[in-house]
Amino acid sequence: MRPSTDCLIDIFLDESTIGRNTPDIEHERDVAIFDLLECNYFELIPKAGQPSIEGPYKLKLALQENRLIFDITDKEDTLITSHTLSLTPYKAIIKDYFLVCESYFEAIKTATPQRIEAIDMGRRGLHNEGADLLLKRLEEKITLDKDTSRRLFTLIVSLHWKG
């Protein structure tokens, strides 16, 4: 059985718009990209009247003002399409996610296992909410599976992490 061509084979972060950060944050971004590339389902939905374009694909992410730019190319780096998503709908989720993560990191120092698990369940719930929002906002442009959406949301969060 041949592997699916409906996948990402590389992800680039536009450093001119995203910039570099602390080594810890860079590591988190690298892990998010590694996890995403390890296993993903990513299929472009053609616009009406256009033929479908098979992958595999490469993804370049850039930030412009309060928007996330998805530049999608083929494996030879020829631009296929660009999609722009406003980050405004994610602000509250990302803010809450960071607060829960801070609580989690504090809790692991002194809290009971039950308290840590409860906080982690809240974190996973917010993560799922962000992934579901991403699926909905991309539904007419890109088909993702739930795990790919979760991994992309992790990467989006990592772009906002200030340490």
pLDDT for 9-45, tens place per residue? Answer: 999 988 887 767 777 778 878 888 999 999 999 999 9
| CB neighbourhood size of 113 (10 A) | 9
Q: Is 24 helix (H, G, I), strand (E, B) or coil?
A: helix
**Sign (positive or negative) of CA dihedral 83, 127, 32, 110:** positive
Rounded CA-CA distance 154/150 in Å is 6
Write down the domain spans for the chain: 8-160
pLDDT tens digits for 102-141?
Answer: 888 888 888 899 998 999 899 899 999 999 999 999 999 9
Considering the entire predicted model, what is its pTM? Answer: 0.85
